[in-house]
Structure 1
Amino acid sequence: MLRQGSASILLGMLTLLLFWSVCGVSMAATEPADGALQQGLHYYRIGELDRAQAVLLDYLAGQTDPVLEPEALLVLARIYHQRGRYDQVLHYLQRVPNTLRGSETRLLEGTALIRLGRSEEGIALLTEIDDSRLSRTDQGRRLADLATGHLEQKHWLQALYFVHAYLPLAVDREQTDTLLQRTGEVVTDQLSEAQLAEAAFMFQGSAVGQAAGLQLALRNWRDGNELAARRQIETVLQQPNAFPGREEAVKLRDRLFGAPVKSRVLGVILPLSGRYAAFGKAVRRGIELALEQLGSAEYPVKLLFRDSAGDADLSARAISELANAEQALAVLGPLTGTAAEAAAARAQLERLPLLTLSQRNGLAETGPYVFRSSLTSSLQAQALARYAIEERGLRTFAVLAPDNRLGREMSSRFTAEVEQRGGHIVAARRYAADATDFRRQILLLKGEDPDAPEQPEPPVTPEAEPEVPTLPFEALFIPDYAERVGLIAPQLAYYGVRDVALLGINGWNNPELLRLADGYVEGAVFSDGFYRYSPYPFVQAFVNSYFERYGAEPTILEAQGYDAAGILLAQLSRGEQLSREDLRNALSQLQNYPGVAGATSFDAQGDAQKVLFLLQVQNGNIVQIN
């Protein structure tokens, strides 16, 4: 009985051991397999597609549980899709159960079918997808492949519809170019006049509608219906988009309107109404004076003024009107930032030289037809750093700036220019733009604790000389306007910042600086783009002529308008007839134009490089020192 019981216990223990052994084998087999899946997914996420593919294929080869397969199958399908192996995409997606096929699975399968020439099946699959569940990139891919599928099926209007819907997403540059090229072929060779009219109406405002509109205009022109062709081509070129055949559209416009591309018409876009009207009118006075004095009687130039009101849309429309209806050779302006950005983009599309006076950064980078001539923060920072380091031999600098866009931009550019020339910014502090008390910032610049308790002044004896604190900087840059500097300068002296070079921007060039700061800014140096008391004879001649004409002294706005007009008039007043391309080339090669707002050249980007006026306070007066 005991033996029988012992045998039973032993048999039970062996059974348990066998169970645990089996369970252990099962767990050991599962954990590495699941680890392989995670490893494969990791390689895919970091872009190592070869390793991800190898690991996932091994994982599937050893996988017996179909529940764990779909994620690996989907990632393999993505990898093969990226590599253009669309047969393999279908092979692996077909193993995913229908109940687990989501929007992404159907998208991959539909696009693969279209790429393999099975466009009818692919269109059906892609059409059923709820694109609200897709990312923006996948939405674009779906629309692009639907367009491609319908092109293969020769469903021309449906294909154009999907190209039109795809363009605002435009997720792939190469695919976009291909679709636009196919669009041009379709509207040129495949559509009837009625279909062209339908496409031009349905897809107006996009490159598809413009391409269709161009073909309508061409057909009307060939049929002798010039009035309809003119209306159509004007509508087409009012839109700023690049579209198939844009250059052909420009040539057709030139034939239809009969005006040569070469002319002596200059457009001018300025804010002549609205909040910036005073600035626009000041620039206009300078431009009109330049035409009187610098224009040629033998080769007269016509100015056409347009009011931007500081508005981007008005400025863009004015560019198109001046380029097309008026056949202007170039445009001067706009003045304000957003208006200038819109005008620059449209001028580049129209291939119309634009010389803008805006200070907005990046305008000249729009393209080779856009130039900018204005007093910029970069020019001022260059002039001051060059003077301080190369002429004065200063090496250590501090910056005290307002915490606003002007202060931040000027501080950044000045710092970069100083460091580029081997100087060092040893301290920098900001203050609120409307501040009146600068004690804290000044003490911090000196390296002192503004929160430390004040120490009593030591008694002064006849033998003791007052101790002059050593400052960690030789020059202090303050990028603010005269009204604020007039508050800062006396406080600098009060808190012991003396015998350092004060450097400033064009906002210092104001009689208020001398009135408010009295002797505290003696010796200060600042830059400006115009100085009406300059000893240069040509500046004095401009100031006197302006005063005789308008009864007031000119500012930098009138001077900039005068110079910008002078630059263009210098090219147009010669005997030969220039084209827009000729003028663009001439501007890009301009060197040291002797302007009243500084000698001007254009760099490779199209930004003006100017020799600014360096001004200094000497004996209570502002004088030019360069």
Structure 2
Amino acid sequence: EGFMKKILFLVLLVFASGCAAFKQGGVKVKYPNPVSSEMRSEFSLAENEFKAQRYPQAEVGFRNYSQRYPYNALSDLAEYRIGQIKLLRKDYAGATQTFDALIGKTPDPGVASRARVKAGIAQYRLGNYSSALSYFDKTDPAALGENDRIKLGGLALAALDRVKGNSERKGFYDAVLLDSYQNLSESSIQQQYGAEAPSRQAVLGGLKSWAQQPATVGQIDSRFSTYKAKASEPYVAYKLGMSYYKAGDKKLAGKYLARLVGKYPGNPLAKEAQPIFAQLGYKPGKEAKASGKRYKIGVILPLSGKYQVYGANTLKGMECAASVKAPCAGVSNIQIISRDDQGEPALAVKAVEELVKQEKVSAIVGPLSSASSMAAAQRAEELGVVMISLAQREGIPAIGANIFRFSLTPGEQVRAILEAAVKRGKKLLAVLYPNSNYGKVFLSTTQSMASKYGASVRASQGYGSAGNAAAELRQLKFSVSQASAQAPLGFNALFIPDSYSEVLKIAPNLKNAGLDQVQLLGTNAWNDPSIASQSGGLLEGSVFLDIYFKNSNSTLVKNFVSEFQAAFGGAPSTLEAMGYDAIRFLGQALAGRKASSASDVREAVASSRGYHGVTGLRSFSWDREAQVEPYMLTVESGAIKETK
């Protein structure tokens, strides 16, 4: 119990920072000692044991780390992992003790909230429901990942039922659950959380009942004053608006009811509130409209040099999102100020300094290259400006609390592939991987995540040359002795994490090796038209994914492609789409706000949920990595098409 919903390749991104001080949610977090490269290396050894579910060895490694090194940010994560391991082995009293110690010493309020929810779970398992609630009620949901927010809401509601808690507290946890369910289907909620997470219908019913139940301002859960509601917003706005109206506070009543009537005119509660709203003299939509402020957003891309084409294409997507060139109709509150780094780290650092000191930008998007992103992120954190990196390298958000990353990680890809395979009844996997860092990362990520989704890796085989992989395929075929009617070979799905060009070399050997009947699975590196047109039907029915699919049936994608082509004369690729969504996301996150500081902008980015654009970007998780729901793709009748 207690696994994060999305296990990333390097979980040490959660708290690690090369500096001893950084900002967390606008609060400066100070650790007495920085994290050195030696510390990171030793910590990663224990972390790898944890991901491989070798918990006794992991616990020893985490304890050794805490005892060997002076207190630092990774010391907190080591203690947190030890608490998780105790939860897994059902040592609930011991887990509570570990999390209590962490809560008492950590300088990071986000770490404290994540420890509190785990301590609350431990107490709930012991049947100490009032004690569990004492932890839950002090937890900030904004500091949690989706999985822990759902645990928090579901178990808090169950504990309140046990102790006959008041409905006002239940209203808060119903709101947390409804907002956390935004990107989940009803079946996935029940599959992952069972009876400990009420259905969406039950949560919505509870929230509607709470909203319409009269209450004084003092009776309403005080956490609503700072809670960033999403799907629950119309119910929260109605409740607060009506309560302030009855208290005689017309200003705050108008604020909340204007939000309800302006943003959710079709909601039945908006119609109920309309007469009172009219009495207050407010105009519908007043609070829902953007503040009118335009934000300067710095963009760092390679606009000259050998990577120029990539930077130029990305910038076109950004300009489309900012409505720079007709007929693109994106957001209207963003002004793009670009700088050229030529793919060079030194120039990226210089660009950050110019954008912050001279242009006074509110945030920076980019760079593209990993080296430039690492250098730029270090300087951006020092200068206290939010930066959203577009690089593929893992570890960039660990530089500091102002640094985010928008890219499709191996963890996100493996999660989606495992879900797709299990949905098709293909739970027994083999992995054929290139002997490169890319292939080894996907192998280890799949091995560590498979069991969470009810799958298992039955065999794995590396290869040096895709064109000469026949021997490796035969070796893979005969490496599993356990067979069944559903999997005569011992596995019924074959995952090949390699590029489309290399997969096309492997495909002819699949039939020769007798592997043409297993379900083929791939990464976003498969997404090229030639995977369908040049494979001779050998890859029909295979399943892979990408962060963007230009031929999607999505109305948003169709409109984007049409507007982009009219504006720039060509179809947008993945880079254009990512540039578009990075700017559009920022524009929507900042809309209606009066963000005047880096902490305001960071809060806007971190708290924005349920985004839907042209890529799979949905939000940023508590470790500041993008949460992405990729497009699932297949080869059908010689073409790449969407699948589920």
* TM-score (normalizing by structure 2): 0.52
The one of 416, 424, 430 equivalent to 1:392 is 424
The one of 500, 509, 512 equivalent to 1:491 is 509
Q: Which residue of 2 aligns with 1:428?
A: 460
Q: State yes or no: 1:415 paired with 2:447.
A: yes
State the distance in 2 between where 1:562 and 1:301 align.
12
How do residues 464-543 of structure 1 correspond to structure 2 at under 5 angstroms? 470-543=488-561
Q: Which residue of 1 aligns with 2:601?
A: 583
Q: State yes or no: 1:365 paired with 2:395.
A: no
The one of 274, 278, 285 equivalent to 2:316 is 285
Q: State yes or no: 1:549 paired with 2:567.
A: yes
Counterparts in 2 of 1:411 and 1:275: CA distance versus 1, 3 Å: farther
State the distance in 2 between where 1:448 and 1:286 align.
47
State the distance in 1 between where 2:503 and 2:354 align.
45
Percent of aligned pairs with the same amino acid: 34
- What amino acid is the match of 1:442? L
Q: Which residue of 1 aligns with 2:339?
A: 306
Q: Which residue of 2 aligns with 1:180?
A: none
Q: Do the aligned residues in 2 keep the contact of 1:266 with 1:329 (CA within 8 Å)?
A: yes
Q: State yes or no: 1:335 paired with 2:368.
A: yes
- What amino acid is the match of 2:566? E
| 1:451-476 Cα distance to aligned partner (Å, 9 max, x none) | xxxxxxxxxxxxxxxxx993121100
Structure whose alpha-carbon radius of gyration is higher: 1
Report the 3-state secondary structure (helix = DSSP H, G, I; strand = E; otherwise coil) of the residue aligned with 1:274: coil
Shift of 1:345: 1.1
Q: State yes or no: 1:345 paired with 2:378.
A: yes
Q: Do the aligned residues in 2 keep the contact of 1:410 with 1:479 (CA within 8 Å)?
A: yes
Q: Which residue of 2 aligns with 1:223?
A: none
- What amino acid is the match of 1:588? A
State the distance in 2 between where 1:307 and 1:416 align.
39
State the distance in 2 between where 1:607 and 1:172 align.
27
Shift of 1:498: 2.5
Q: Do the aligned residues in 2 keep the contact of 1:501 with 1:524 (CA within 8 Å)?
A: yes
State the distance in 2 between where 1:363 and 1:304 align.
23
State the distance in 2 between where 1:446 and 1:173 align.
49
- What amino acid is the match of 2:493? A
Query: Superposition RMSD on alpha carbons, in Å?
Result: 2.5
Shift of 1:613: 0.3
| 1:571-597 Cα distance to aligned partner (Å, 9 max, x none) | 445363543221100111121211201
Q: Do the aligned residues in 1 keep the contact of 2:431 with 2:495 (CA within 8 Å)?
A: yes
- What amino acid is the match of 2:351? A
* TM-score (normalizing by structure 1): 0.53
Counterparts in 2 of 1:172 and 1:336: CA distance versus 1, 3 Å: same
State the distance in 1 between where 2:487 and 2:626 align.
43
Q: Which residue of 2 aligns with 1:383?
A: 416
Report the 3-state secondary structure (helix = DSSP H, G, I; strand = E; otherwise coil) of the residue aligned with 1:519: coil
State the distance in 1 between where 2:469 and 2:391 align.
32
Report the 3-state secondary structure (helix = DSSP H, G, I; strand = E; otherwise coil) of the residue aligned with 2:394: coil
State the distance in 1 between where 2:593 and 2:476 align.
60
Q: State yes or no: 1:274 paired with 2:292.
A: no
| 1:349-373 Cα distance to aligned partner (Å, 9 max, x none) | 1110001111110111212101111
Shift of 1:275: 2.2
How do residues 29-108 of structure 1 correspond to structure 2 at under 5 angstroms? none
Number of equivalences: 349
Q: State yes or no: 1:607 paired with 2:639.
A: no
Q: Do the aligned residues in 2 keep the contact of 1:506 with 1:527 (CA within 8 Å)?
A: yes
Counterparts in 2 of 1:493 and 1:469: CA distance versus 1, 3 Å: farther
- What amino acid is the match of 1:425? V
| 1:255-276 Cα distance to aligned partner (Å, 9 max, x none) | xxxxxxx972111001112222
Q: Which residue of 1 aligns with 2:435?
A: 403
State the distance in 1 between where 2:473 and 2:347 align.
47
- What amino acid is the match of 1:492? L
State the distance in 1 between where 2:335 and 2:428 align.
52
Q: Which residue of 2 aligns with 1:197?
A: none
Q: State yes or no: 1:439 paired with 2:453.
A: no
Shift of 1:294: 5.1
How do residues 123-202 of structure 1 correspond to structure 2 at under 5 angstroms? none
What 5-or-longer segments of structure 1 have no aligned partner? 1-170, 175-261, 450-467
- What amino acid is the match of 2:443? S
State the distance in 2 between where 1:469 and 1:494 align.
18
Report the 3-state secondary structure (helix = DSSP H, G, I; strand = E; otherwise coil) of the residue aligned with 1:345: helix
Q: Do the aligned residues in 2 keep the contact of 1:295 with 1:573 (CA within 8 Å)?
A: no
Shift of 1:441: 0.5
| 1:83-130 Cα distance to aligned partner (Å, 9 max, x none) | xxxxxxxxxxxxxxxxxxxxxxxxxxxxxxxxxxxxxxxxxxxxxxxx
Q: Do the aligned residues in 2 keep the contact of 1:395 with 1:474 (CA within 8 Å)?
A: yes
What 5-or-longer segments of structure 2 have no aligned partner? 1-67, 72-292, 481-485
Highest relative contact order (Cα 8 Å, sep 6+), 1 or 2? 2
Report the 3-state secondary structure (helix = DSSP H, G, I; strand = E; otherwise coil) of the residue aligned with 2:385: coil
Give the number of the structure whose residues are more often helix, by fraction.
1
Counterparts in 2 of 1:496 and 1:295: CA distance versus 1, 3 Å: closer
State the distance in 2 between where 1:318 and 1:501 align.
47
Q: Do the aligned residues in 1 keep the contact of 2:322 with 2:335 (CA within 8 Å)?
A: no
Q: Do the aligned residues in 2 keep the contact of 1:263 with 1:579 (CA within 8 Å)?
A: no
Q: Do the aligned residues in 1 keep the contact of 2:321 with 2:331 (CA within 8 Å)?
A: no
Q: Which residue of 2 aligns with 1:318?
A: 351
